[in-house]
Structure formats: C-alpha cells, structure tokens
C-alpha cells in the first residue's frame, strides 16, 4: 500500500516552492562588497556602447549621492560586476535598487537602442549576488575577476581595451570614465 502525504506535508511543499529562497546579506561591518547582477533573462541590454555609457554615468551619480566608494567595476553586455563599500546612510541593497531603477528609466523604450526592451518589459533580474570581501586575498581575486571578465568573454584581447572597466586605474593610475576610490580611503 502506498502512503499518501498528509495535508500538512503537501501544504509545506506548495508554500515552500512559492516562496523565494531568501538570500542572507551581511551589512554593517564596513566590508567591501563584490556585487554582480544581470539584465533580465541575461539579455544583452547593455550590448551597445551608448547603453554602457548610460550605466556608467548613472553609477557615478548614485555613488556620489549615496556616498559609497567605488573600488572597481565592469559593465558587460548582459551583466555588471561592482566592488563597492557600504554606503554611508543606507545598505548596498538600497544603493543597487536605486542604481538599477535609474538605469532602467533612462534606457527602457529609448528609440535607437534596439537591444532595450519596451517600457512594459523588465530590464534587470530581481536578485543579485553579494559577497563580503574582508581579506586581501579575496580583494585581489575579485579585482582580477572583474578586470579579466571582458577578456574571458573574448570581447577584447587585453583588459585595457575595454573602456567600461577600471583596469587602467589599477595598472596605470589613469583616470577613466568615472573616479575610482582607493581601497584604503575612508
């Protein structure tokens, strides 16, 4: 005889599959945060230079308004990697929400940007990955990952050839599209 699951077991199965798996975020320790987030369904909505420029300008504006340090970044055609400090008055989650909303408002429905969905569509995936960086080894690992991303994806042959990254700041001390903060600044 096959045992039928109880109503309680079925209810738990149904409700647990409906609930999103909550991610734990660790804020308040003044750690650096490696954050990565994607365009909706990993579509290349940042696939043209003009869209990446809009993102970089919005990043600079939100960084200045919310007072977080930008240690490194790379804007890829379908995702973004950031290495930031915790904002002075809010959390990295709120800073990222502000940034994503600003970019989506500016890019959704703009004529001439064929890669951007209509105004009714989503621009970003809802969730993001956040990793607290608290050691020098992890800092170096995340910087190398961020700067190597365009080469690994075969978009360029050298990290310095991708202008939507801060490789040149770390390797040559050059200013780029936006100011980069030093790890040790306060």
Where do the domains of the chain lie? 23-172
- CA atoms lying within 13 Å on the CB side of residue 155: 21
Mean pLDDT of the chain: 83
| Architecture, CATH, for domain 23-172 | 2-Layer Sandwich (3.30)
Please state the pTM of the whole predicted model.
0.81
What is the per-residue DSSP string for 47-98?
-SHHHHHHHHHHHHHHHHHHT--EEEEEE-SSEEEEEEPPPSSS-HHHHHHH
166 versus 102: the higher-pLDDT residue is 102
State the pLDDT confidence band at 138, using cuts at 50, 70 and 90.
very high
CA distance 116 to 135: 38
Report how far residue 9's alpha carbon sits from residue 26's, in angstroms, rounded to the nearest whole number: 32
């Amino acid at each position: 005889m096959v045992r039928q699951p109880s109503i309680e077991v079925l209810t738990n199965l149904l409700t647990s599959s409906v609930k999103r798996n909550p991610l734990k975020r660790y804020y308040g320790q003044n750690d650096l945060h490696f954050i990565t987030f994607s365009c909706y369904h990993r579509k290349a909505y940042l696939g043209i230079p003009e869209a990446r420029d809009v993102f970089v300008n919005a990043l600079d504006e939100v960084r200045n308004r919310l007072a977080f340090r930008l240690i490194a970044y790379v804007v890829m055609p379908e995702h973004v990697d950031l290495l930031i400090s915790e904002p002075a008055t809010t959390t990295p989650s709120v800073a990222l929400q502000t940034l994503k909303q600003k970019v989506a408002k500016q890019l959704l429905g703009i004529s001439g940007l064929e890669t951007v969905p209509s105004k009714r569509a989503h621009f970003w995936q809802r969730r993001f990955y956040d990793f607290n960086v608290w050691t020098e080894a992890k800092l170096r690992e995340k910087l190398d990952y961020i700067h190597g991303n365009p080469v690994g994806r075969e978009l360029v042959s050298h990290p310095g050839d991708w202008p939507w990254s801060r490789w040149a700041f770390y390797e040559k001390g050059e200013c780029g599209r936006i100011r980069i903060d030093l790890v040790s600044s306060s």
